[in-house]
Structure 1
Amino acid sequence: MNHSEKQTTAQPKTVALFVSDVHLNPGLPKTTTAFLHFLKTEGKQTQQLYLLGDLFEYWVGDDDLNDPYNQSIAKALRELSVAGVQLFWIAGNRDFLVGEEFAAWTGMQRLLDPSIITISGKKMVICHGDAQCTDDIGYMQFRKQVRDPQWQANFLSLPLLQRKNIVQGMRESSKSEQSHKDMAIMDVNHDAIDALFLSSGCDYLIHGHTHRPALHVQQGKSRYVLPDWDCETTPPRGGWIAINAQGDIQRVSLDSERAVHQ
């Protein structure tokens, strides 16, 4: 096979990767290892990496960046940005307090939720996904409260240890509440999704949050849902979405099985 034949058979270059709901924390060492491996392999072979929320199990403020575990994740992200990979961040419901210091340290750009981007000629809207779970009235009220700038300023003024204790209590309360909720309530609302497609003028949507990885196609519009990560379980969960230079959208699992959609 000559050089020109190799070029024609080569796989199109990956342009962008999307990942969410990794829920990184020291209690998930296998998940942490898998994600760091993803950054060193797939991450270094793309032009852009989009982190669509809940990268961390929780984030209580950028002054926790000195924590050794948090520092190890931040360093891995910084290595990518130094290598020339563009990093983009949309806050999740667990790590919405990631701020300018973390962004500057890692070299990433924070985006609004939702945001409209164009990848390989495809105009798409991206978001975390929690704002579209409008059937969960209790959560929507909580979300409105904690996204309020004054609430955040008050919370961030508390001592670091106190913030961690408060968040730990919130996590336990959330687990208890979710165990009594109908699963359908915690999924996205179809009217909210339709409204997002309409307001954005996009035919493609990528989001996470629901932990229900799938491709939903309706009326010519495609909604891609990212998986959550948990490598402590058997089989392990995790994966990402990749878009190549030809505009092919691929859903990729941790075992590298790829479902390709045009």
Structure 2
Amino acid sequence: MSVLFISDLHLEAERPDIVRAFLHFLRTRARQAKALYILGDFFEAWIGDDGMDDFQHSIASALKELADSGTRIFLMHGNRDFLIGKAFCREAGCTLLSDPSVIQLNGEPVLLMHGDSLCTRDEAYMRLRRWLRNPVTLFILRNLPLGTRHKLARKLRKESRAQTRMKASEIVDVTPEEVPHLMRRHGVRTLIHGHTHRPAFHELDFDGHKARRIVLGDWDRQGWALEAGADGVLRQAPFALENTEPR
């Protein structure tokens, strides 16, 4: 059985094409997999488990159905949904992974990340990330009134989009020097991450060894899933969103 990796779906009710494609993916390819790893930015925004709406409950229900069928589900925080907590994971039947995490894949240690922490040249974002992920900040955010959290989420999304458009392409991409540094620290030769929306297989060579960095694609104009087969081969290919039908 295969293992699947996806990221950057940015699920929201306003994108029914992505939602339909994801639900179709759960009922088909994911049912045939032994594990599904969702590496961040699963939702476009998340203000806290206590603020879940009907749409988010429906996604949790679909994940739980997959989990009950036998596919193990692992979820990692992204920069858009880092407030996802234990309540959602219980409802969805998934396990929350720390970022970064090392897993065993076909007998090889593999490093999984969302990917935003690799973009160290974006100094303004890295400062914001450190502030948002501070335990004190997280406590304050989770205890703000829901209305305040909604307004803050909208403000952060608007500012993020505006700043990304203004920044140079290399600023919002992974800092190349960070990759071998982290891979050495974790003792791996394969890194899988999302965040940058630039799907690719990057062949690396450091310390006299071959290595690879695999970037997952985002679900906007098309869907993406990386599949690790029982033969040890990693395959990634896009698929059309419009070819899926409503349930």
Partner letter of residue 237 of structure 2? V
What's the CA shift for 1:120? 1.5
Structure 1 residue ranges without an equivalent (≥5):
1-12, 231-235, 257-262
What's the CA shift for 1:244? 1.1
1:46 to 1, 16, 33: 33
Structure-2 separation of matches of 1:85 and 1:159? 36
Structure 1 segments of 4+ aligned residues over 3 angstroms from their partners = none
1:160 to 146, 152, 164: 146
Pair 1:27 & 2:27 matched = no
What's the CA shift for 1:255? 4.6
Structure-1 separation of matches of 2:74 and 2:15? 24
Pair 1:61 & 2:51 matched = no
Structure-2 separation of matches of 1:149 and 1:196? 23
Structure 2 residue ranges without an equivalent (≥5):
242-247
Identity percentage of aligned residues:
40
Give the structure 2 partner of residue 225 of structure 1.
Answer: 215
1:79 to 47, 51, 65: 65
Structure showing greater radius of gyration is 1
Give the structure 1 partner of residue 238 of structure 2.
Answer: 253
1:108 to 65, 86, 94: 94
Partner letter of residue 10 of structure 2? H
Structure-1 separation of matches of 2:67 and 2:5? 15
Structure-2 separation of matches of 1:99 and 1:255? 31
Structure-2 separation of matches of 1:178 and 1:156? 26
2:137 to 151, 157, 164: 151
Matched-pair contact (CA < 8 Å) for 1:122–1:247: no
TM-score by length of structure 2 reads 0.93
Matched-pair contact (CA < 8 Å) for 1:242–1:251: yes
Give the structure 1 partner of residue 244 of structure 2.
Answer: none
Q: Secondary structure at the match of 2:84?
A: coil
Q: Secondary structure at the match of 1:209?
A: coil
TM-score by length of structure 1 reads 0.88
Question: What per-residue deviation string (whole Å, max 9, x for no partner) do you get for residues 200-229 of structure 1?
Answer: 111111000000000000111011000001
Matched-pair contact (CA < 8 Å) for 1:64–1:70: no
Matched-pair contact (CA < 8 Å) for 2:119–2:172: yes
Q: Secondary structure at the match of 1:172?
A: helix
1:197 to 150, 167, 183: 183
Structure-1 separation of matches of 2:135 and 2:240? 41
Matched-pair contact (CA < 8 Å) for 2:222–2:240: no
Q: Secondary structure at the match of 1:82?
A: helix
Question: What per-residue deviation string (whole Å, max 9, x for no partner) do you get for residues 41-100 of structure 1?
Answer: 1111100000000000010000123x1110111111111111111111111000010001
Question: What pairs with 1:12-23 in structure 2 (closer than 5 Å)?
Answer: 13-14=1-2, 16-23=3-10
Structure-2 separation of matches of 1:25 and 1:105? 18
Pair 1:243 & 2:233 matched = no
Structure-2 separation of matches of 1:221 and 1:237? 28
1:37 to 16, 24, 42: 24
